[in-house]
Amino acid sequence: MSVGGLIDALQEIDQQTYGLHGTLYIVGFAADDSTPGFGGGVIGSPPPVAFGQFRELVQRGVDALPELLKHIDDARPTKLVVGNKGFQFMFAYFGEEYDPRDPKAGKLSFGAGSRKELSLPYTVRIGDVCFSIIGEITSRTLLALRYQHTAGLIVNSPVESAALAARVRADWTGIDSSALKGILVEEAMSSEGGWGGLPQLRLYFPEEYRKLKAGPLKSKCEVYEARLHTSNQLPDPTSPSVTPRADARVAPSVTADH
């Protein structure tokens, strides 16, 4: 199926997944076979659902970026609706949280279009899904939906925020395979803790990944690969206490709630 066809098929998403989860911050990569881990949120949250069209777009990597950017403000609705059943949110509002291509550029957090009160339920749009998929491909924390302690929902929607859509396009338009590889290598080399950039390098640039594994990132790669073969289940709802993992790249103000 073409990239455009896969994006059209995002309309069928009807459950929470990577970057689109209102009560759970997910530790993991949508395109590998690791079990998703718990990075914070509400204990007992449903695990992310693996959608084939979402995963396929992530797997296509830089080849999918131009079309994903074209649809970053696509307002067509998906079947995923949050705040209509299940967990009862105490508040909800729009944010403009953004993890930029250049870490030195500064994160867009609460701009002029953010903190606008959101009346639930909220129907996720295709542009929101594209935002989160771009985050998966580029190893950036782009969460269209996220949990806010305590019992809150933040929606970072490039459909609602023209500034957010413009920032994503400015960062990633024209990025080719060589540029993405360099960005991911820099991420892997500079990140403290966790394994930023490694899942993407292993999938998109296996030769470069092998070089790093045999050289400067041997230990980090071994820790990452051990995770792929370890059951890292989400916490049991009856667990008395769960806190974010030390290696989790946790979103702002995400903690464990009971």
pLDDT in tens, 235-250: 444 333 333 333 344 4
Please, which residues have CB within 8 angstroms of residue 192's CB and are 6 or more apart in sequence?
none
What's CA 188's distance to the chain center, in Å?
Answer: 17
Q: pLDDT per residue over 35-52, tens digit each?
A: 888 889 999 999 999 999
pLDDT at 3 over 70: yes
3-state secondary structure the chain: CCHHHHHHHHHHCCCCECCECCCEEEECCCCCCCCCEEEEEECCCCCCCCCHHHHHHHHHHHHHHHHHHHCCCCCCEEEEEECCCCCCCCEEEECCCCCCCCHHHCCCCCCCCCCCECCCCEEEEHHHHHHHHHHHHHCCCCCCEEEECCCEEEECCCCCCHHHHHHHHHHHCCCCHHHHHHHHHHHHHHCCCCCCCHHHHHHHCHHHHHHHHHCCCHHHHHHHHHHHCCCCCCCCCCCCCCCCCCCCCCCCCCCEEC
> Using CB atoms within 10 A of its CB, is residue 32 exposed (0-12), middle (13-18) or buried (19+)?
middle
pLDDT at 212 over 90: yes
Provide the pLDDT confidence category of residue 182 given band limits of 50, 70 and 90: very high
pLDDT at 130 over 60: yes
The arithmetic mean of pLDDT across residues 198-212, rounded, is: 97
Whole-number pLDDT of residue 37? 86
Whole-number pLDDT of residue 231? 47
Separation between Cα atoms, residue 25 and residue 251, nearest integer Å: 7
Sequence spans of domains, the chain: 3-176+232-257
Measured CA distances, 23 to 35, 59, 98, 142, 221 (Å): 18, 25, 19, 15, 29
Separation between Cα atoms, residue 69 and residue 195, nearest integer Å: 26
Whole-number pLDDT of residue 214? 97
Confidence (pTM): 0.88
Provide the pLDDT confidence category of residue 110 given band limits of 50, 70 and 90: low
Separation between Cα atoms, residue 83 and residue 189, nearest integer Å: 39
